[in-house]
Amino acid sequence: MGEERRVNGNSKNEQLEQFRVDDSGKTMTTNQGLRISEDEFSLKAGERGPTLLEDFHFREKMTHFDHERIPERIVHARGFAAHGEFQVYESLSEYTKAKFLQDPSVKTPVFVRFSTVAGSRGSAETVRDVRGFSTKFYTEEGNYDLVGNNIPVFFIQDAIKFPDLVHAVKPEPHNEMPQAASAHDTFWDFVANNQESAHMIMWHLSDHAIPRSFRMMEGFGVHTFRLVNDQGKAHFVKFHWKPVLGIHSLVWDEAQKIAGKDPDFHRRDLWEAIEKGDYPEYELGVQLLSEEDEFKFDFDILDPTKIWPEEDVPVKIIGKMTLNRNVDNVFAETEQVAFHPGHVVPGIDFSNDPLLQGRLFSYTDTQLIRLGGPNFHELPINRPVCPFHNNQRDGYGRHTINVGRVSYHKNSLAGNTPAPASEADGGYVHYQEKIEGHKVRSRSESFKDFFSQAKLFWNSMSEPEKMHIIQAFSFELGKVKSKSVQQQVVNMFGNVSMDMAAAVAEEIGANPPEGASESTVTKTSPALSQLNTKMLPNTRKVGVIIGNGFNEAEVLGVLEQLKARGIQPEFISDKLGKVAGADGAELEVDHTFLTSDSVLFDAIYAVSGPNQGKKFEKDAAYFIQEAFSHYKPIGATHEASSLLAGMENSPGVVIAEDHNEFTLQFAEAISAHRHWSRQVV
């Protein structure tokens, strides 16, 4: 394995070290270093008199407190992040001169932020929403930001419509409801009247919008970019992150319950996995197109509402990212990190995707207001690991102490430095693309097919996934008050599938689709279905329902074998403390029926023990029944088998007396994630 990329002898971790401060055991001072003799009482004119203006300590302390919160992001406000490293598998010099994509022995530091889009910072994490997936690579040529989502397309084709989209999906201004939800009138009114959103809506209402974990969801750069090699030859590229654990999701009822049981579910999952050493891993893949192939498809490759089907343009896996360190301070790192799709390095360039072009302006503008001015790049989490030199000076939050009298170009007093670098010396040179045309406010005719890829997505779904989409439509539109908007949406999605739209119409009391012309696309893309993802049991959480008198040999044997497969058991009982086995062995209870819930686990294993009492059995039965209704794996042995009455012969339900056979079958059931063929009783 290689070593972390080092620049001037410093890794990113070492660079950040100078900013880490542990206040424990230290003497209190002001921010200027003055030791403080009193921090309980403000300076007053007499014990009951007014506070004096000269109390500099009070003013400093209160001023800082008043400004502890920066404006939250308008979108992607609810986020969580981690540090890690990236290594390329082999040199990509054939396609790009970006140095961090050349040497497999080099580890490039990264910082990754996951987020929901619509909700505020205080919203729940398991809501139906797009998830942000943004990666900052600290390369020796400067920071490169791959600012993406867990869905490969977007709602709109031109950035000028982004404020309209966000205004529509945010809580409605007359009553500030609903929070972190798209199930309301203004969003669906926007969809019905901006039909370029059709493909994205299919993804948004699929299982992709309620991921099981940040560790089990894909990431996409969304846009078409360019890779440019050192001969100046360019390829169009789309970026993909593929989770090593596979792509898995929640079910809708479960997602809603988790939002109440644990609104921090996704960040807790990521934090705990890293703390345990179960480091999340993602492989980076690229789809590459030569410029000669730009117009060979039945869609425009620059359209951000379109995918490049993987069966037509294969994903080439080029490297792996591992997240291996949690942040020290959420505000200083996660909140203050500033991503920007315009942060690129030599060898990576842009396309004329009109959504991407607008983002290149918007992100800088956003950071200026959020982080207080033009020096957000000087915050520790945003600083590149390589040195930076230019003639930019002053401004809010300036950390650098620039010395010398020259701050302009060209100059003679400093030998005309800092000086631009040649391309051979690593200077960034924009790809030279020939551009001709009139100044117009228009959209290419090649962008105006809104339904073919929405139909491709529908065709590619399994029957359970199709049912989930119909249920999601029914839930979302069922919350819409306007009958007109409901009908408009039903009519719109008749262009995707008449059967789907008719099923939704029946659920919400609307008329069957009117005036629609169903897409004739028959093609499928198997890569779009989550049922075709890899299935691994690693890091799955199993709730073990246990009581006094459990069979020690069986339980301890099963637990040992589950852990050997990377499965993580946690014990649930009627009270905290220890439970004792039949032969005296003790296990520490992690949760009670009151403090936990089946929705917080991937599977349930019931061992209980004899004669636990009616209250215990009632609570345990509720746990198991709820897990069963969410299609999760359920296992039981000995006395606990009675808790599975009526479920015994259902897929994913494992009952066995031999603990070796039980463990094998149960681990296979956990690997499958969900058992959709199960009939809920």
pLDDT digits (tens, 9 = 90+) for 221-253: 999 999 999 999 999 999 999 999 999 999 999
pLDDT at 43 over 80: yes
Confidence of residue 20 (pLDDT cuts 50, 70, 90): confident
Tell me what the mean pLDDT of segment 461-490 comes to: 98
Residues 625 and 394: their CA atoms lie apart, in Å, by 63
pLDDT tens column, 140-149: 999 999 999 9
Contact 151, 348 (CB under 8 A): no
Where are any strands of DSSP class E within 261-310?
281-290
- Name the most confidently modeled range: 319-323, 340-344, 550-554: 319-323
Could you give the residue numbers annotated as active site? 76, 149
Q: Give percent helix, percent strand, percent coil of the chain, each to the nearest 5.
A: 30, 20, 50
Which pair of structure tokens corresponds to residue 331? Answer: 């505000």
pLDDT greater than 60 at residue 2? no
The predicted structure's pLDDT at residue 577 = 96
The pLDDT of residue 10 is 59
Residue range(s) occupied by CATH 1.20.1370.20 in the chain: 455-531
pLDDT value at position 154? 98
For the segment 391-401, the average pLDDT, to the nearest whole number, is 89
Q: Is the pLDDT of residue 211 over 70?
A: yes
Q: Is the pLDDT reported for residue 150 higher than 80? A: yes
Q: How many CB atoms lie within 10 A of CB 177?
A: 9
Mean per-residue pLDDT for 307-322? 98
- Distance from C-alpha of 365 to C-alpha of 159, rounded to nearest angstrom: 14
CB neighbours of 265 closer than 8 A, spacing ≥ 6?
A: 124, 125, 126, 258, 259, 600
Among 177-181, 334-338, 389-393, 672-676, the least confident range:
389-393
Question: What's the mean per-residue pLDDT of the chain?
Answer: 93
Residue 514's Cβ-side half-sphere holds a number of Cα atoms within 13 Å equal to: 6
pLDDT digit string, tens, across residues 44-100:
888 888 888 888 888 888 777 788 888 999 999 999 999 999 999 999 999 999 999
- pLDDT > 70 in the chain, percent: 98
pLDDT digit string (tens) for 555-578?
999 999 999 999 999 999 999 999
Stretch among 21-25, 363-367, 508-512, 546-550 having the lowest mean pLDDT? 21-25
> How wide is the angle at C-alpha 545 spanned by C-alphas 544 and 550, nearest 5°?
100
Q: What local confidence, expressed as pLDDT, does residue 7 receive? A: 47
CA distance 498 to 490: 9
Question: What is the average per-residue pLDDT within 190-194?
Answer: 97
The segment(s) of the chain belonging to CATH 2.40.180.10 are 79-378
Q: Alpha-carbon distance 323 to 105, whole Å? A: 18
CA 260/CA 254 separation, integer angstroms: 10
Whether 42 has a pLDDT exceeding 90, the answer reads no
Which CATH homologous superfamily contains domain 535-671? Class I glutamine amidotransferase (GATase) domain (3.40.50.880)
CATH of 455-531, one of 1.20.1370.20, 1.10.760.10, 3.40.50.300, 3.30.360.10: 1.20.1370.20
Element (H, E) at 452: helix 452-460
Which contacts qualify for 621-627: CB closer than 8 Å, 24 or more apart?
Answer: 622/593, 623/543, 623/545, 623/572, 623/593, 623/597, 623/598, 624/545, 624/598, 626/597, 626/598, 626/599, 627/543, 627/598, 627/601, 627/603
Confidence (pLDDT) at 94: 97
Residue 327 has pLDDT above 50, yes or no: yes
- Asked whether the predicted pLDDT for residue 112 surpasses 50, the reply is yes
Range of weakest confidence among 57-71, 95-109, 298-312, 315-329 = 57-71
List, for residues 615-645, the tens digit of each pLDDT value.
Answer: 999 999 999 999 999 999 999 987 788 889 8
79-378 has which fold?
Answer: Catalase HpII,  Chain A, domain 1 (2.40.180)
Q: Where exactly does CATH 3.40.50.880 map onto the chain?
A: 535-671
Would the pLDDT of 553 be above 90?
A: no
- For the segment 410-450, what is each residue's pLDDT rounded down to a tens digit? 889 989 889 888 889 889 889 988 888 887 788 899 999 99
Tell me what pLDDT residue 679 has: 59
CB 267 within 8 A of CB 125: yes
Confidence of residue 659 (pLDDT cuts 50, 70, 90): confident
Q: What is the pTM of this model?
A: 0.93
Alpha carbons 642 and 645: distance in angstroms, whole number: 6
Residue 30's pLDDT is what? 82
Instruction: For residues 297 and 212, give the distance between their C-alpha atoms in angstroms, rounded to a whole number.
Output: 34
